[in-house]
């Protein structure tokens, strides 16, 4: 038997914040929101039906209302034709229902508990991801959901460490810088935290893998999400210092490709935001 | 796992050791146990499966720090994998003994106390999964190649109305790139008026239905294509419902069908609606008792003259010009139709009689402007009949019929006139229609009876023949004159039936007389034949009647008016010759009232001329010139003569003096029924023998 010596591990400074308590906090939230928790757990199974999902969804009036609102939004093009909850579930798709349930479960629908401009950024990110997904060989619906939930980790960090997270956000204008600071403080960056949470709930790989590769500019798996962070930042952040899109997209996009996407995203973002949030 | 832990205390030790044994030797399941040692977590135990998967020796494994195994975990992340209270699930890169990274599903379960974890590894990309994925990818590529290259425009939905895929054929159909149409972009290609219907069908398809809808698509260049979009439901487990849509472009087919429909309903020469469309148009707008609908019936005067003198091409030119002038003269919304030949109909809505007449006047004025045809200036004139809907019109076709009648009135009153069908004329026309129906019934029921008037030899003053005379005794109106019902039968296509009835009844009566009176029976009966009967069928009909009643052909004489012969002399001559060949006699009725060519007369195979009663009547006034000339002419041509309408003994004497062969008239014998004739001949006929 060949014995391979262990490679040397880079010294990692100990985080100052115990991130496990954050995940433990989600379990507490789930207990308080059983309908959302149930939707998160059943929506992914192969034998899920719109009928079953709408039956569960019906017991959470607020969440059901949001699904109806989203189904009738311009994004799905149904122009107010969606009048039953079951049909709304059909129109938006199971993953989206699950995504919305996750939003409710983790209190992402309460803007008072979120970093500044959270939903403004998130809706732009999600719509950009959905619009560009086909160019990257991804399903637009998975990309939309990934965009909606990508910042879940950041929200969780903010929930639990409002002050500390606020300082990071203020001090680090770039995504890479901010994520490095997150790793220093929490032992994990916000996108990886999102990945951990989504993996824990059994979300499909196309929604998890990109989160792990965002910071590796050579990794095509992270190219779509990285590009969409760039586009969302351009649309929502004042005086944003742009990064060339060809670089973040692993050469998949040129600046010309971005222009039409900006229009589409701008047009639908407000409505998507209204559908995602509590009235 | 949870169940085992919960009931741990109650599981007998031998079962625990049995499970442990199977776990430790299993090579399909990679199990590790990690435990906290000081500030770090190390592997404490590994089963056979883990050794095989990772390639490390058992001894190496059992002291390895956990983060060594999962190098992609950042400093803080190990805590999220080895949680004290809950199991965790991740997909992580695992470092094997060769240094390679293998992706594996990792499930950790803490033991009570939170210092030890069972770690289960499952390589995500085993051979079987790779094969399955390859098959799925191949399916995907095949489907994509199929739709991509398919000439059928195809859409594949993502969610709701959102598209995930459009093929080249669809891009070509609407003239846009795929990028513009993915998501909800394709909605812009649907005509706004059809969008609701499309969304409705998409809803039905998402709900599980297979549906289709006709919708117009707007091309990038603004052109419209009419299509049928067929939607089929698609369900992806774990994802939800979608649809596949195929699009059939039916623009050209519809255009062709429209062209066919137009051709079926329009006159190819003038492009005007034809009679069929006119009938539909009036029927659609006709509301009984509502009023307000008017029809103008136009017939060009002397169109035949143009056709005959300038040729059919000029005639067609004239019709096209008239159509153009009509279209230009009527109000917007009025219908101009070509009824047939040189007849046109204009239909107007919401007008009274004055409006309709004013329009008719405008039309006649517009038509009468000169136009040049074949080098000649022609002023088209039309007779126009006008009808405005009244409470009496109960069916749409009555409107057209009435304006047709009005046009005939206009024509009868002199050409180039406008005539409005008044109450009286409408009543007359209806009465005539009723009478036609009753005449048809009378012929079918043999209610038309025959009277027989004897014809005498001028010298002997004995009866030699009878003339059959049709009589109609109407049950309500009383006797109706042949001068009324014979023209009516000719106009309404009943003359053939009437003629056959007279011929057959005459033959039957002759046979009966033979049976009843033997030698005293009338030797011959004269039967009148209308101009319209004078065709190739007549000889056969005569022969059939004779044979049916077993009569010799010489017992019948066919009387044909001079004017009937002159309508188509050549054909008439042929028919007469055939009749003559049968052996029947032939006489020309009302001779002298037409304009016979005397030269032509010489070649007709007739035996007898009947001198018209008007010339006989003149004898009394001392004007016997014509009667005398006719009789002399006949004699010179070797023809015999019958003088009709002999009413006085003086006339009979004078005719005898002039040389007339036979006499017929009230003075000599009135028409009588078949029964009376039998008795009459029994008395008077004896003298002939």
For chain B, say whether A28 makes contact (Cβ under 8 Å).
Answer: no
Number of domains, chain B: 4
- pLDDT exceeds cutoff 50 at A220: yes
Q: Is residue B179 part of a domain?
A: yes
Rounded distance between C-alpha atoms, residue A132 and residue A126, angstroms: 10
Residue A152 and residue A80 share a domain: no
| Higher local confidence (pLDDT), B590 or B43 | B43
Q: What is the CATH number of the domain that holds B74?
A: 3.30.450.20
On whether both B336 and B199 belong to a single domain, the answer is: no
The answer to whether residue A12 is domain-embedded is no
* Dist. CA B188–CA A264, nearest whole Å: 13
CB nearest to A79's CB, from B84, B97, B199: B199
- Same domain membership, residue A171 and residue A62: no
Based on the fold, state whether residues A87 and A178 are members of the same structural domain: no
pLDDT band at B597 (very low <50, low <70, confident <90, very high): low
Q: What is the DSSP letter of B466?
A: E
**Whether B154 contacts B246, CB under 8 Å:** yes
ipTM of the complex: 0.79
Residue range B595-624: mean pLDDT, rounded: 82
DSSP classification of residue A8: P
Q: Per the structure, how many domains does chain A have?
A: 2
Question: What CA–CA distance (Å, rounded) separates A15 from B128?
Answer: 41
Choice among B298-302, B412-416, B488-492, B585-589 with the minimum mean pLDDT: B412-416
pLDDT over 80 at B137, yes or no: no
Nearest CA in chain B to A204: B238
Give the separation between CA B609 and CA B600, rounded to whole angstroms.
14
Would A88 be classed as within a structural domain? yes
Are the beta carbons of B75 and A183 separated by less than 8 Å? Answer: yes
| Cross-chain CB nearest to B158 (options A4, A46, A140) | A140
**What are B190-194's contacts with CB under 8 Å, separation 24+?**
B190/B215, B190/B216, B190/B217, B190/B218, B191/B215, B191/B216, B191/B217, B191/B218, B191/B224
* pLDDT, averaged across chain B: 87
Domain that holds residue A43: 30-105
B239 closest CB neighbour out of A13, A93, A183:
A93
Reported as half-sphere exposure (CB side, CA atoms, 13 A), residue B188 has a value of 17
Q: How far is CA B218 from the centre of its chain?
A: 32
Would the CB atoms of A140 and B164 count as touching at under 8 Å? yes
A–B interface: beta-carbon pairs under 8 A: 149
Which chain A residues are closer than 8 Å to B133 by Cβ?
none
Smallest Cβ–Cβ distance between B160 and the set A2, A71, A264 belongs to A71
Residue A3, in any domain of the structure: no
On the question of pLDDT at B3 being above 50, the answer is no
Assess whether A272 and A180 both reside in one domain. Answer: yes
Residue A227's φ and ψ, nearest 5 degrees, are: -60, -40
Domain boundary among B85, B110, B125: B125
Claim to verify: residue B516 and residue B638 sit in the same structural domain: yes
pLDDT range class, residue B238, cuts 50, 70, 90: low
Alpha carbon distance B32, B37 (integer Å): 15
For chain A, what is the largest distance between any 2 Cα atoms, rounded to a whole number of angstroms?
68
Residue B215 pLDDT level (bands cut at 50, 70, 90): very high
User: Is the Cβ pair B77, A188 closer than 8 Å?
Assistant: yes
DSSP3 helix / strand / coil % (chain B, rounded to 5): 45, 25, 30
Average pLDDT value for residue range B240-267: 91
**Within-domain flag for B533:** yes
Enumerate the residues of chain B whose CB falls inside 8 A of the CB of residue A204: 238
Same domain for A123 and A250:
yes
> Where does a domain end: A105, A135, A157?
A105
Res. A7: pLDDT tops 80: no
In this prediction, residues B573-595 reach a mean pLDDT of 87
Q: Which of A40, A41, A90, A222 to probe by mutation at the B interface, max B CB count within 10 Å?
A: A90
CATH code of residue B299: 3.30.70.270
> Does position A181 have pLDDT exceeding 70, yes or no?
yes
Are A116 and A97 in a shared domain?
A: no
Q: Are residues B203 and B112 in the same domain?
A: no
Examine the pLDDT at B688 and tell me if it is beyond 60.
no
Interface touch A187/B160, C-beta < 8 Å: no
Across the range B71-83, mean pLDDT stands at 80
A142 with A255, same domain: the answer is yes
| Same domain assignment for residues A168 and A206 | yes
Counting beta carbons within 10 angstroms of the beta carbon of residue B494, is it exposed (0 to 12), middle (13 to 18) or buried (19 or more)? buried
Catalogue the E-assigned strands of B490-531.
525-529
Q: Are residues B271 and B246 in the same domain?
A: no
Q: Do B77 and A23 touch (CB under 8 A)?
A: no
In this predicted model, what pLDDT tens digit does every residue of A104-163 receive, in sequence order?
A: 998 888 888 898 889 999 999 999 999 898 888 888 888 999 999 999 999 999 988 889
What's the gap between Cα B334 and its chain centre? 23
Are residues B108 and B26 both part of a single domain?
yes
Residues B221 and B337 in one domain: no
User: Which pLDDT band holds residue B4 (cuts at 50, 70, 90)?
Assistant: very low
Please indicate, yes or no, whether residues B586 and B450 belong to a single structural domain of this protein: yes
B473 with B532, same domain: the answer is: yes
Q: pLDDT for B565-583, tens place per residue?
A: 777 778 888 999 999 999 9
In a domain, B137, yes or no: no
Buried-exposed string B225-238: b where 16+ CB fall within 10 A, e elsewhere? bbbebbbebeeeee
pLDDT digits (tens, 9 = 90+) for B365-422: 999 898 888 888 888 889 999 999 988 888 888 888 888 888 888 887 777 788 888 7
> Do A121 and A212 fall into the same domain?
yes
Mean pLDDT throughout A57-85? 89
Q: Are residues B236 and B275 in the same domain?
A: no
- Residue B509, pLDDT score: 95
Which of A105, A131, A154 is a domain's end point?
A105
* pLDDT at res. B304: 82
Residues B366 and B474 in one domain: no
- Residue A21 in any domain: the answer is no
Q: Compute the distance between CA of residue A122 and CA of residue B548 in angstroms, rounded to an integer.
A: 107
In a domain, A92, yes or no: yes
Q: Do residues B415 and B510 both lie within one domain? A: no
Give yes or no for residue A11 having a pLDDT over 60: no
For residue A190, pLDDT beyond 70: yes
User: B114 lies in a domain?
Assistant: yes
String of b and e for B307-342 (b: at least 16 CB within 10 Å)?
A: beebeeebbebbbebbbebbeebbeeebbbbbbeeb
- Beta-carbon separation of B237 and A1 below 8 A: no
Q: Which residues of B touch A48 (CB under 8 A)?
A: 237-238
Give a yes or no: residue A22 inside a domain.
no
Range of the domain at B524: 442-688
A157 with A254, same domain: the answer is yes
Residue of B405, B302, B417 lying closest to B364 (CA atoms): B417
A202 at the B interface (CB within 8 A)?
yes
Average pLDDT over residues B474-488: 90
Among B226, B253, B280, which residue terminates a domain? B253
Residues of chain B contacting A87 with CB distance shorter than 8 Å: 203, 206-207
DSSP-derived secondary structure letter, A49: -
> Do residues A60 and A122 share a domain?
no
Which tens digits make up the pLDDT trace of B526-552? 999 888 888 888 999 999 999 999 999
Nearest to B529 by CA among B574, B575, B484, B491: B575
Q: Does residue B670 share a domain with residue B648?
A: yes
Task: Using the 3D structure, point to which of B353, B387, B421 is the last residue of a domain.
Answer: B421
Q: What is the 3-state secondary structure (H, E, C) of B242-257?
A: EEEEEEEECHHHHHHH
Nearest to B464 by CA among B454, B474, B475: B454
What does the pLDDT read at residue A16?
A: 67
Is A154 inside a domain boundary?
A: yes
A219 lies in some domain: yes
Average pLDDT, chain A: 86
B315 and B382 in contact (C-beta within 8 Å)?
A: no
- Residue-level pLDDT at B684: 83
Q: If pLDDT is split at 50, 70 and 90, which confidence band does B310 have?
A: confident
Residue B438 above 80 pLDDT?
Answer: yes
Per-residue pLDDT for B462 more than 80?
Answer: yes
Domain co-membership, A101 together with A115 = no
* % of chain A beyond a pLDDT of 70: 92
Of the residues A42, A75, A105, the one at which a domain ends? A105
């Amino acid at each position: 038997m060949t014995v391979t010596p262990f490679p040397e591990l880079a010294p990692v400074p100990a985080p100052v914040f115990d991130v496990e308590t954050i995940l433990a906090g989600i379990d507490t939230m789930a207990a308080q929101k059983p309908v959302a928790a149930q939707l998160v757990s059943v929506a992914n199974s192969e034998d899920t039906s719109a009928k079953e999902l709408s039956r569960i969804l019906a017991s959470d009036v607020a969440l059901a209302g949001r699904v109806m609102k989203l189904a009738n939004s311009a994004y799905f093009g149904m122009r107010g034709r969606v009048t039953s909850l079951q049909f709304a579930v059909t129109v938006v798709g199971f993953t989206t229902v699950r995504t919305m349930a996750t939003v409710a479960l983790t209190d992402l629908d309460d803007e008072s508990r979120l970093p500044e401009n959270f939903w403004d950024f998130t809706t732009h990110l999600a719509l950009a991801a959905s619009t560009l997904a086909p160019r990257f060989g991804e399903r637009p619906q998975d990309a939309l959901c990934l965009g909606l939930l990508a910042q879940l980790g950041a929200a969780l960090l903010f929930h639990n460490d409002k002050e500390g997270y606020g300082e990071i956000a203020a001090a680090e204008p770039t995504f890479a810088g901010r994520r490095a600071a997150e790793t220093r403080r929490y032992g994990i960056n916000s996108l990886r935290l999102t990945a951990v949470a989504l993996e824990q709930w059994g979300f499909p790989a196309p929604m998890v893998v990109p989160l792990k590769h965002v910071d590796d500019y050579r990794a095509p798996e992270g190219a779509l999400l990285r590009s969409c962070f760039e586009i969302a930042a351009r649309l929502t952040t004042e005086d944003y210092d742009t990064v060339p899109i060809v670089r973040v997209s692993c050469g998949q996009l040129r600046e010309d490709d971005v222009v039409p996407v900006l229009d589409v995203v701008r047009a639908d973002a407000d409505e998507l935001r209204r559908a995602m949030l509590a009235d | 796992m949870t169940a085992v832990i919960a009931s741990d205390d109650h599981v007998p030790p031998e079962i625990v050791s049995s499970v442990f044994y199977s776990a430790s030797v299993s090579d399909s399941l990679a199990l590790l146990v990690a435990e906290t040692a000081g500030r770090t977590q190390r592997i404490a135990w590994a089963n056979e499966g883990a050794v095989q998967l990772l390639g490390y020796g058992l001894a190496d494994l059992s002291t390895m720090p956990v983060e060594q195994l999962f190098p992609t975990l950042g400093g803080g992340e190990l805590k999220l994998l080895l949680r004290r209270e809950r199991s965790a699930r991740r997909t992580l890169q695992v470092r094997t003994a060769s240094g390679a990274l293998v992706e594996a599903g990792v499930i950790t379960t803490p033991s009570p106390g939170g210092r030890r974890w069972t770690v289960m590894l499952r390589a995500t990309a085993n051979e079987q999964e790779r094969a399955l994925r390859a098959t799925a990818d191949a399916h995907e590529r095949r489907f994509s190649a199929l739709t991509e290259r398919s000439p059928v425009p195809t859409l594949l939905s993502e969610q709701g109305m959102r598209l995930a895929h459009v093929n080249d054929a669809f891009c070509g159909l609407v003239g846009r790139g795929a990028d513009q149409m993915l998501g909800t972009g394709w909605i812009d290609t649907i005509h706004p008026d059809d969008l609701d219907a499309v969304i409705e069908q998409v809803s039905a398809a998402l709900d599980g239905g297979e549906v289709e809808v006709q919708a117009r698509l707007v091309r990038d260049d603004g052109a419209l294509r009419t299509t049928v979009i067929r939607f089929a439901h698609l369900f992806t487990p774990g994802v939800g419902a979608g649809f596949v849509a195929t699009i059939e472009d039916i623009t050209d087919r519809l255009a062709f069908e429209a062209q066919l429909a137009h051709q079926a309903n329009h006159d190819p020469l003038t492009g005007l609606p034809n009679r069929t469309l006119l009938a539909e148009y009036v029927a659609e707008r006709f509301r009984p008792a509502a009023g307000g609908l008017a029809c103008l019936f136009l017939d060009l005067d002397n169109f035949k003259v143009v056709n005959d003198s300038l040729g059919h091409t000029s005639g067609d030119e004239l019709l096209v010009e008239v159509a153009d002038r009509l279209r230009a003269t009527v109000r917007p919304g009025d219908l101009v139709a070509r009824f047939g030949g040189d007849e046109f109909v204009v239909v107007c809505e919401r007008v009274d009689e004055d409006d309709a007449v004013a329009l008719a006047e405008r039309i006649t004025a517009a038509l009468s402007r000169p136009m040049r045809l074949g080098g000649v200036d022609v002023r088209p004139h039309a007779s126009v009949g006008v009808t405005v809907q009244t409470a009496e019109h109960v069916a749409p076709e009555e409107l057209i019929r009435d304006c047709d009648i009005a046009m005939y009135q206009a024509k009868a009153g002199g050409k180039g006139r406008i005539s409005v069908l008044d109450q009286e004329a409408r009543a007359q026309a209806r009465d005539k229609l009723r009478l036609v129906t009753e005449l048809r019934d009378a012929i079918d029921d043999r209610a038309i009876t025959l009277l027989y008037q004897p014809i005498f030899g001028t010298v002997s003053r004995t009866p030699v023949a009878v003339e059959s005379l049709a009589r109609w005794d109407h049950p309500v109106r009383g006797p109706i004159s042949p001068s009324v019902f014979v023209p009516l039968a000719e106009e309404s296509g009943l003359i053939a039936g009437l003629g056959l009835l007279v011929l057959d009844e005459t033959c039957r009566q002759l046979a009966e007389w033979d049976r009843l009176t033997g030698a005293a029976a009338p030797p011959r009966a004269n039967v009148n034949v209308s101009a319209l009967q004078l065709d190739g069928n007549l000889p056969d009909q005569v022969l059939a009647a004779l044979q049916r009643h077993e009569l010799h052909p010489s017992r019948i004489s066919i009387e044909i008016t001079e004017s009937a012969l002159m309508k188509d002399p050549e054909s008439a001559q042929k028919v007469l010759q055939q009749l003559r060949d049968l052996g029947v006699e032939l006489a020309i009725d009302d001779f002298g009232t037409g304009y016979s060519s005397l030269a032509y007369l010489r070649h007709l195979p007739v035996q007898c001329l009947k001198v018209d009663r008007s010339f006989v009547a003149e004898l009394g006034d001392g004007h016997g010139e014509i009667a005398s000339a006719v009789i002399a002419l006949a004699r010179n041509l070797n023809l015999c003569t019958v003088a009709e309408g002999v009413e006085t003994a003086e006339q009979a004497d004078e005719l005898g003096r002039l040389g007339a062969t036979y006499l017929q008239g009230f003075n000599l014998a009135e028409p009588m029924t078949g029964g009376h004739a039998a008795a009459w001949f029994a008395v008077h006929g004896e003298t002939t023998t």
